[in-house]
Structure 1
Amino acid sequence: MKIDISISDNVNRQFKDKMGGQELKNGFIIDPDIGTNNAKCIYIEFPGCLELYHFGSTQFKEPIEMHTTNPIDSDWLLIHINLSKFSQQKKVGDDTISFQRNLPIGILFCGPGLEMNTLIPPGIETEVLSIRFNKEFIISYLADTRKSIDINRHIAYEDIDDVLSTALVHILNTMNNKLSCHAHLLNFLDHFFDKISKHQRPRGIDKLHPEDLQRIMEVSSLLRNPLDDNTPSLEELSKQAHMGITKFKESFKLVFGLAPLQYRKRIRMEYAREELMKNKNSVTELSYKLGYSHPSNFTAAFKRFFGRLPSSF
């Protein structure tokens, strides 16, 4: 099934036209010939040109080829969150790690000029939360940070950290209480935009071809396992992305807000912080798991990144 989605229009209506079965007061149930679980697709409209879409957990019975666009002159932006990924875990040796750290998608920010192709295979559990809002929302709610957030950026990616994960759970659990849901949604957006505002901006690249975007997302998976000792070189990564090194670095920065090896370092340091906060590993254990020759080297790298010693967590 091929679906064309324009972010500049109501997303619920576009999906309903293609895969809607039973109509609901605030959405629809996916046609059972298309998806399983009688999955509900719920739409909530909040004040301030803010919309929330929850597409319930389902397995599609045929491949879904989705072509998502947003006109360059669009005043609408979208945040797309793959919930089916953020709850998964994976065994790496004797360790269980959060799988969203290793495979896109976590959170995608979709702005004007976006063109993106997505293939959802049949039989794969899929659950999505999307947040659509007008540029006026940024002006109204985030006036102080508006200049540091590039609202004309066509694509950006962020991982789901513990704060965002908790906020998402609260959003999903309060969808039948519009006021509470709105509060949790604003909390999520506040933290998300704070992270986006810290993204580095690339030089000479402001938009990616859909195929280049797909390659960048695929290649990023090679950097996302914090316990992998074999980090590919920039040459290897750029070759796999079918790009020159400079274009690859700047294209990667456009999406992830960091150069590839800086992003790799962030993945490892954030993994270490989470392990320390959950008391799963000692500093010494973590240093060797992450490949440091001595705990003091890990401690120094950790302090440079967070400005705090590992022992403070």
Structure 2
Amino acid sequence: MLDWHGSGMSVMEMSHRGPEFMGILAEAEADLRELMAIPSGYRVLFMQGGAIGENAIVPMNLIGRTGRADYVVTGTWSEKSAKEAKNYGQVCVAASGEAGAFRAIPPRSEWRLDPQAAYVHICSNETIGGVEFHWTPDTGDVPLVADMSSNILSRPIDVSRYGLIYAGAQKNMGPSGVTVVIVREDLLGHALPITPAAFNYQVQAQNDSMYNTPPTYAIYIAGLVFKHVKSLGGLATMEEHNRAKARLLYDFLDGSRFFRNEVAPADRSLMNVPFHLRDASLDKAFLDGARQRGMVQLKGHRIVGGMRASIYNAMPIEGVRALVAYLREFEAAHG
């Protein structure tokens, strides 16, 4: 915190262009490339603005290739992405789960894709509704773009199936403040004239994410997380860990007559598990009891209500066991 490797400086105070931080940045990128098996034809950018910022930055950089893009809407975040992109070109909602209250991902056979679209955009995990892509859509020659903010590093993926991946760090990679963008090199150089230089992927790639001052400390901490995940056995190990946690919680909910999860089983998120009490008048008592047991932030998003357990990489399986024990106790007392 106060003295990085005997330099006499914290990472927070060292020059972002000095050899110390340049080494930190290079090492973080190398570890992320190894973890995700990122092919050589892709650039890794460390940017700012989060996924909300990328909702504008992606179309600024890509939609100019043809003037239009397809969006698959599976919940609140992909809905926001599509809405923002309309400011920069013609956007078509190629498929939507809205009719089913966003409880399932529309089958690929129902997608109406435009072969002339500049890209197809998905949100790989919807934190609010609790649906997740457990498959990679085939979009033919049209590049697939994915917002992976909430499930990146949770399991292995084939990066070569995507044209661009972006993710805010704050769920599985580190503190908020840094956004990772993994972009195929042939998609660089198509930014709209209105694109600020700091948001231009080609400019950032040419400057190794140093066109403007990057979020240095957030990158440093993310780099430590990459090393930690590698030390645990990489993404295959993380997938086993996450599937075990999710299975434990979903199995209890499926066997309960007091709690319910309404997401289609094939599309259930490994990261975010929403659930409802069958008697909503007990919600406050449930949350109060959870807080007394050291379990906080279980209240569901205001859009959907109910409860939500977020079980990202860092949540140990003991935490899920404690939650299931409390669910069982609460049901016995009130059911």
When normalised by structure 2's length, the TM-score is: 0.26
Larger radius of gyration: 2
Taking CA–CA contacts closer than 8 Å with sequence separation of 6 or more, which of the two structures ends up with the larger relative contact order?
2
Q: Which has the higher strand share?
A: 1
